[in-house]
Homo-oligomer: A and B are copies of this chain.
Amino acid sequence: MELGINLGFASKRWPEPERWASLVREELGLGLVQFTFDLLDPWWPERERRVLAERVRRAADDFDLTIHSAQLGLAWYTFNGLLHPDAAAREIAREWWRRAAATAAELGVPAMGGPLGALSATDAADAALSAESYDGLLKDTVAASEAAASAGLEALLVEPTPLPREIPHTVAQAQRLVADLEGRLAVPIRWVLDVGHALYHPLYGADVTLEDWLVPLRNEIGLLHLQNHDFRSDAHWGWPHDGGRYDVAEFAETVRRAGLAHIPVVIELFYPFEMPDEDVLADVRRSVLHCREALAQSATMHMG
């Protein structure tokens, strides 16, 4: 199983591409990263954005890192995106996805995406408005896939989230989205499945398992996001963590059993802005070591 890390941990602390590339390769011993738009925002003016993107490509080359894809981060997740209740704001969101596709091409990565959007509480409480928003979302996802194809990308990443106002937030909704978009997409959808989202008990109940997601969505899974959590918050903690209960060895077993050991696994960690940089780096180091050992242990068992 291939292990990498989402660059969210580097935001604001190690924004220089040579710095995060050196940390990932030399201190964490990894060769795979997922880029985050929290390091380079698609909204930024093209000229400067291209300068920054070129520096990212060069650093990845210099440190022999593969960038799996570019994923939206905290900045764009702050907004309602393609499910904003205002038509002008939805036009803005469509523009964001066009710019995100262009930025991904500038970065030289083959895929980009993330969560699609969130209904307002008012729209979510109204069945007719929700249905209308969903129809708009289908059209906008098609448009995003066309922007991705025009930019030369191979896939559009979509990440389910454990929020009832967001689409998709269940396996059934994810399956329906793919079915409703059948034959309409310019590049395929690839799911980003996050273990903290998929196993969120307040929404899915205490009996939910990772298989519940892996098995029905198996043909379209593009990436697995690994985080430590307590099944009751989207915590994105590392290992070990006082409140964290997520077992990486069990995760690896489950993924293997589902026949998905070829899907890349990317650790995604977030820390409070005020946490000291050296504490963050120590936690990232420990977490990568923990995950690598747990995945290797599982591999050994299967070879034995």
Bound CA–CA A118/B11 (angstroms): 11
A15 interfacial by beta-carbon distance below 8 Å: yes
Is there an interface contact between A45 and B92, defined as CB atoms closer than 8 Å? Answer: yes
Most buried by B among A19, A73, A277: A277
Is there an interface contact between B45 and A95, defined as CB atoms closer than 8 Å? Answer: yes
Main secondary structure of the interface of A (DSSP, over half): loop
Bound CA–CA A272/B51 (angstroms): 34
Given contacts A48-B92, A74-B74, 7 further A-B pairs with CB under 8 A are: A12-B165, A13-B121, A44-B89, A51-B88, A52-B89, A121-B277, A234-B272
Is there an interface contact between B13 and A120, defined as CB atoms closer than 8 Å? Answer: yes
Report A36-58 CB contacts with B as 1/0, cut-off 8 Å. Answer: 00100101110011011001000
Bound CA–CA A185/B122 (angstroms): 43
Contacts A234-B272, A274-B234 hold; do A86 and B52 have CB atoms under 8 A apart?
Answer: yes
Q: Within the oligomer, what is the number of copies of this chain?
A: 2
Contacts A74-B74, A78-B75 hold; do A86 and B15 have CB atoms under 8 A apart?
Answer: yes
- Choose among B41, B91, B200, B273 the residue that contacts A234 (Cβ–Cβ < 8 A): B273
5 A-B residue pairings within 8 Å (CB atoms): A12-B80, A13-B165, A45-B92, A121-B277, A163-B274
Is there an interface contact between B92 and A274, defined as CB atoms closer than 8 Å? Answer: no
A125–chain B nearest beta-carbon distance, Å: 9
A85 interfacial by beta-carbon distance below 8 Å: yes
